Amino acid sequence: MATALDRIAAGWDEQQKRPIQVLRVLCELAAQEPERLRPDIDAEQWGFLGREILGGMSRFNVPGAAGWAVDQEKVKSRMQAHWPKLEAIWERQQESIEDGLDAAGVELRPVLWSSVSAGGSPNRYGFRFDARRATRAGGSSRIGRLPRVDLEYRLQTISGNRLIQWLSNQGFYLGGRAGKVYAGINLALFLAGVLLLWGVFVAMGHATTTLDLLKIAISWTTLLGLGYLVFAWQVRLVTNRVTLAPSLLQPLASRYDDYLLELRADEAKGRNALYMVRYVADCPICGDEGQDQIYIASGRREFHGRLVGRCRRAPNEHLFSFDHVTRQGRYLRD
């Protein structure tokens, strides 16, 4: 479990790195000495001390980490600063933890835990475990397993500015005032585009030279191209309830435009919300080298109108279907 959790945390792209590094060191310690997290041992022996955790931070080449575990007061203050931030990150990443542990076949469900030993001893840190398989809020949204499943997708953390973080964590409610403003802006843009196209069409009737006609044709093409960029992804989103995010919302530093916009229905409240998400999966063909190698991309001409899972190591051969509801995929090259 600890090794799987370490790998899951390594994929989180949070702005605050130190709390995640604390978690990964804790996972490493738990993998080395799992007996120290047994619930039946003495409270003075349970878990790992703050100095043990901070002492392992040198694993990440953190400047000065080698001396962090020397002064007990500094250990206490550092852990008091990092642990609450880690708990907040853990809460945000619950879905990616669930998906990652499911993909690894882990039944146990860890919960961050710290305790204060009697007599004012320093805090001890670790995990408590629940052997029951967790169920997402509102009950399981997955349909029954299909006979053939070649891989399972899981959510991966995305990074970016405040707008992207908000779309990822909170979602954009398409009802209420915000939804009406959004619809109003789109309607205004659509009407403006129609008027401009009509104006260009009228201008064609008054063109006197070939150069005038060429300029008008270029203007017409430019307006149609802008309209496609603004509205095409919204049409796909409404039709399929999931689509690749427009280029302006994709990460600039990445080679792959794999951020998605997904409509999620909240049937209890009778509303839709728009989320920005990213899915990954392990490539079953690549084996050990295929961890997190499957990303979501366009189906191109071959699978027109569909999103598919492509392996970074062989994007045209290791090709899988993508179902954002079941989060499952099938090999498409049979």
- pLDDT, one tens digit per residue, over 94-146 is 888 888 888 888 888 888 888 754 444 557 888 887 655 444 444 444 444 44
Tell me the mean pLDDT in the region 281-294.
88
Integer Cα distance of 81 and 75 in angstroms? 10
206 vs 249: which has the higher pLDDT: 249
Given a cut of 90, whether residue 298 has pLDDT beyond it is yes
Identify the residue with better confidence: 43 or 274.
274
Averaged pLDDT of the chain: 81
Spatial separation of the C-alpha atoms in residues 260 and 276, rounded to whole Å: 6
**What is the C-alpha separation between 284 and 32, in angstroms, rounded?**
28
Phi and psi at residue 168, in whole multiples of 5°? -75, -45
* Residue 314: pLDDT band with limits 50, 70, 90: very high
Residue 330 pLDDT grade (very low, low, confident, very high; cuts 50, 70, 90): very high
Which bin fits 288, alpha (ψ -120 to 50), beta or left (φ > 0)? alpha
Residues 6 or more apart in contact with residue 199 via CB below 8 angstroms: none
User: Who wins on pLDDT, 334 or 326?
Assistant: 326
Q: What is the SS3 assignment for 117?
A: coil
Select the highest-mean-pLDDT range: 84-88, 173-177, 317-321: 317-321
- Least Cα distance to 78 among 25, 135, 148 occurs for 25
pLDDT at 148 over 70: no
Quote the CA–CA distance of 250 and 222 in Å, as a whole number: 23
Long-range contacts for 30-34 (Cβ within 8 Å, ≥24 apart)? 30/1, 30/2, 30/126, 30/127, 31/2, 31/3, 31/6, 34/2
Model confidence pLDDT, tens digit, residues 66-104: 677 777 778 888 888 888 889 888 888 888 888 888 888
Instruction: Identify which of 22-31, 48-57, 192-201 has the greatest average pLDDT.
Output: 22-31
Give the Cα separation of 151 and 103 in Å (integer): 9
Spans of all domains in the chain: 2-134, 162-329
pLDDT at position 272, please? 83
